[in-house]
Structure 1
Amino acid sequence: MKNLWILLFLISTTSFAQQYNIKKGAVANGYDVVAYFNNKATKGSKEFSTKYDGVTFRFSTQDNKNTFNKNPKKYIPEYGGYCAYAIGKTGEKVSINPKTFEIRDGKLYLFYNSWGTNTLELWQNEGAENLKKQANKNWKKINQ
């Protein structure tokens, strides 16, 4: 019976983890998701980390960790921290550059930015609101 509970636990935490872009051991490549709301892309520290929804979040300060713990859903990046533009445009999970972000309507959006392609610029130039609507639809399909 104990093995069954362990198996069920592993399955449940694995499904949560698949909803998040985990790189460098944490969501948002280990960047502080609270700091983004102060318009700063700041690396988090293992010292100030917490688990939520089966995944690790890192913070640059104890205050930011406490702020997150009071209302985690406010700070979780949209689309599990995958590139918002890619989710909206093609429905694909694409890695991000944690320094490329936008706060829109009180939500955190992260973007791919490498090799001359800045998807935040594409997101803004191609109509962020329409892409966001499509991304919301695509994200529901991805997570069925």
Structure 2
Amino acid sequence: MNRFVLSIAAAATALSFANQAFAGEQFIDETGFAVSGYDVVAYFSLPQNPVGQTQPAPVEGNKSITAEHNGATFAFSSEENRDAFTANPAKYVPQYDGHCAYGVAKGGKVPGNPTLWRIIDDKLYLNITKNVVGFWEEDIPANINLSTGNWPSLDPQPASDATIPQWSSAAPQG
């Protein structure tokens, strides 16, 4: 019995490392930072507006407070947020490596705009434009199901190299 339990634990550990190894490339825009240099931990402390309303502005990171994850540099507004991220990056990184959640639902990798965000079931989702947010919000659970089904085939593809439309991001402060 103990060998069986150890085998299951070893298999689970191996699978968790395998999933990390096969993570797709993080979307990085012209700032050179993941999520345009916004603090991914700070999203989780912002008030979230109801569906159909614009979310609050995200918190800019500081270019001197950073951490590396999935081949990308993430910036943070405080050392505490950076430490929370490094302790559990999977909790904070945007879904689909920072690509637009609705784009993934439709079968492609397009940039995620960090000002168009929503947290659902403790996961951060980004979308590309305000119009797309409207389509995403028409049926968020169905769109998440589509995205989840599409992601395995999209994940190994290179990250989007497109620019976020009508978006002029600035590098983190500091």
Q: Identify the TM-score tier after normalising by the shorter chain.
A: 0.7 to 0.9
Residue number in structure 2 paired with 1:7: none
The structure 2 residue matched to 1:85, chosen from 102, 107, 128, is 102
Q: What is the alpha-carbon distance in structure 1 between the residues aligned to residue 147 and residue 23 of structure 2?
A: 19
Q: Give unpaired runs (5+ residues) of structure 2.
A: 1-20, 47-56, 157-174
Name the SS of the counterpart of 1:26 in structure 2. Answer: coil
The structure 1 residue matched to 2:93, chosen from 64, 76, 79, is 76
Q: Please say if residues 17 and 54 of structure 1, whose CA atoms lie closer than 8 Å, have aligned partners that are also in contact.
A: no
Output the amino acid matched with 2:43. Answer: Y
Q: Between Structure 1 and Structure 2, which shows a larger proportion of helix residues?
A: 1
Deviations 1:64-93 (A, max 9, x none): 1011111111001100001101111x2111
Q: What is the alpha-carbon distance in structure 1 between the residues aligned to residue 109 and residue 70 of structure 2?
A: 19
Q: Please say if residues 41 and 98 of structure 1, whose CA atoms lie closer than 8 Å, have aligned partners that are also in contact.
A: yes
Residue number in structure 1 paired with 2:76: 59
Q: Please say if residues 25 and 71 of structure 2, whose CA atoms lie closer than 8 Å, have aligned partners that are also in contact.
A: no
The structure with higher relative contact order (CA 8 Å, sep 6+) is 2
Q: What is the alpha-carbon distance in structure 1 between the residues aligned to residue 40 and residue 85 of structure 2?
A: 8
Q: What is the alpha-carbon distance in structure 1 between the residues aligned to residue 41 and residue 23 of structure 2?
A: 20
Residue number in structure 1 paired with 2:32: 25
Deviations 1:80-112 (A, max 9, x none): 001101111x21111132111000001000111
Identity of counterpart residues, as a percentage?
37
Q: Give unpaired runs (5+ residues) of structure 1.
A: 1-14
Taking only aligned residues, the RMSD between alpha carbons, in angstroms, comes to 1.8
The structure 1 residue matched to 2:143, chosen from 110, 131, 144, is 131
TM-score by length of 1: 0.79
TM-score by length of 2: 0.66
Q: Between Structure 1 and Structure 2, which shows a larger proportion of strand residues?
A: 1
Q: Please say if residues 17 and 55 of structure 1, whose CA atoms lie closer than 8 Å, have aligned partners that are also in contact.
A: no
Q: What is the alpha-carbon distance in structure 2 between the residues aligned to residue 58 and residue 17 of structure 1?
A: 20
- How far residue 141 of structure 1 moved from its aligned partner, in angstroms, is 0.5
Q: Please say if residues 32 and 58 of structure 1, whose CA atoms lie closer than 8 Å, have aligned partners that are also in contact.
A: yes
